[in-house]
Structure formats: structure tokens, C-alpha cells
Amino acid sequence: MTPKLIAAALLGLSLATSGIHAQTNPAPAAPTESAVNPAAIQALKDMGTFLQSLKRFRVSTELTGEVVLADGQKLQHTAHADLDVQRPNKMRARMFTARNERIVVFDGQRATLYLPAQKYYSTVDFSGNVGELVNKLEERYRVEIPLSDLFLWGTPAAPLDKIESAMNAGQDFIGNELCDHFAFRQGSFDWQIWIATGGKPLPRKLVITNRADDARPQSVSLIQWNLNPTFKDDVFRFVPPQGAKAAELRALEAK
């Protein structure tokens, strides 16, 4: 791989972890009042408020996604991601599968994307907060951070007005934790979320179903939290490993 190809490699290393807010859907029909349970919407608001209150945490996810072949057969693939976050402006994210690995490090002044297998890295200057960085990487470079909606909920940009239906689907255990289960419809996607009960309403599971595809492919994310992480500040500093080479990360052309 040459430095000229690193942008393509970084953009192609997707873990299929698109957030609901990032989907491009047909314009939905206007929701009816009875289709949207206010308590389900309030649960999202409460979750968002709690997420925005977290200052230092580690969150991990195991994602199972489906690929539908031309004959309708489904293949499942698994990806993993670990995020160390210190608000307002520090993050380290590692995303990996059996085939690919990508690391993103943000120290408050610059963000670095690194491909360990190829030993290429790209750096862009940035002085905003973590949520703003996540949006910039996706919009300008098509580099997606897993669980990106964690930085969206609880802010004015949360897509509550795009939800066509919302309901409380009862309760389930995710691991050993009792969770409230909610189901939503938004454009051509159905999505479900399991939120921990009690004083820490953390999202523990997310399921997204693509209704635009007759095969109804799904992605399932199981989410683990550590609100008292032991990582040190140096995890947010990127030091190029021996033999690593710098390459330019080019922004996408505006359409």
C-alpha cells in the first residue's frame, strides 16, 4: 500500500456501525399522535441527559451485522470496538475485526487515524469537543466512530422529531442487568434499544433493522460500560510506532 491509498483504506475500513442519525431515508409520513408513546421518547431524553453527564468512561461493543447475498442467503459478521473517553476533548477508539483494525486517537488538538497492519497514519488538526470531532470525521472523511450516537443523544441534534413511532416493549435482562426495552420506527429503519433501569440509564443493546431491503438485514450491538476506568492520560497521545509512515487524509469532495 502506498501513502496515496491510505485515504481509501481508512474510508473502506467500516465496521457497519452506522448510527440512526446518519441514515439516509425516504421522507417519512407524518407520525400520528397515538403512534408515539411519550414515555418512550422521555426515556431517550433521560438516557441522553445521563450520557452527556459522563466525563470519563470506557465503553465497548460487540457488533453482529448481516450481509445479504444475491440469492437471499444471509452471512453474519462480527466486529468489536473499545472507546476510552475523557470529556470534553479526548478520545481513543479501537475498532477491529478478523480482517481489519483501525485506531483513532484525539488529544484535544489533533486527531490521528492509524492502520496497524499497514503502518500508515494520518493526522488532522481539530480543537473542538469529542462529539464535534465524531461528526467532522464522518462528514468530511467518511470515517465512522462506532456508537457515535452516544455523543448525539442529550444534545439539540438528537433526531427525536424524526421518530414516526415509539413504544415500550417491556423489560429484559441484558447480562445480569434489568433493562427497559423500547422500539422505534424511523424512515426505512426499525430500531430497538435496551436501557438499564435505575439511576444510570445506560444503553446496553441496540438492534437496527433495514426495512428498505426485503431481506430485513439486522445489526445487533451489545454494549458494556465502565464508568470508573483506570486508563491514564497517555492513552490519548499518539506516538508513531517504529516504521510507521505518515500520509495525507483528504476530505471528501463536496457534492
DSSP 231: -
Alpha carbon 47 to chain centroid, angstroms: 16
Per-residue pLDDT at 10: 38
CATH numeric code, 3-8+37-246 = 2.50.20.10
Per-residue pLDDT at 89: 95
Residue 219 CB burial class (10 angstroms; 0-12, 13-18, ≥19)? buried
Looking at the predicted structure, is the pLDDT value of residue 200 above 80?
yes
- Indicate the helix (H) or strand (E) that contains 49: helix 38-53
C-alpha R_g of the chain: 19
Looking at the predicted structure, is the pLDDT value of residue 34 above 70?
no
Query: Which of 61-65, 76-80, 156-160, 161-165 has the least mean pLDDT?
Result: 156-160
Q: How many CB atoms lie within 10 A of CB 74?
A: 12
Average pLDDT over residues 95-116: 95
Sheet holding 177-186, edge to edge: 165-174, 177-186, 189-196, 203-210, 218-226, 56-68, 74-86, 90-96, 101-106, 110-115, 120-125, 245-246
Average pLDDT over residues 63-81: 94
CB-CB contact of 60 with 82 (8 Å): yes
3-state SS string over 88-141? CCEEEEEEECCCCEEEEEECCCEEEEEECCCCEEEEEECCCCHHHHHHHHHHHH
Per-residue pLDDT at 210: 95
CB-CB contact of 177 with 196 (8 Å): yes
Angle at CA of residue 214, ends 210 and 218, nearest 5°: 35
What's this model's pTM, rounded to 2 decimal places?
Answer: 0.85
CB-CB contact of 62 with 222 (8 Å): yes
Give rounded-to-5 percent helix, strand, coil for the chain: 20, 40, 40
Per-residue pLDDT at 253: 65
d(CA 89, CA 102): 20
- Residues 142-196 pLDDT 10s: 898 988 989 999 999 888 988 999 999 999 999 999 999 999 999 999 999 999 9
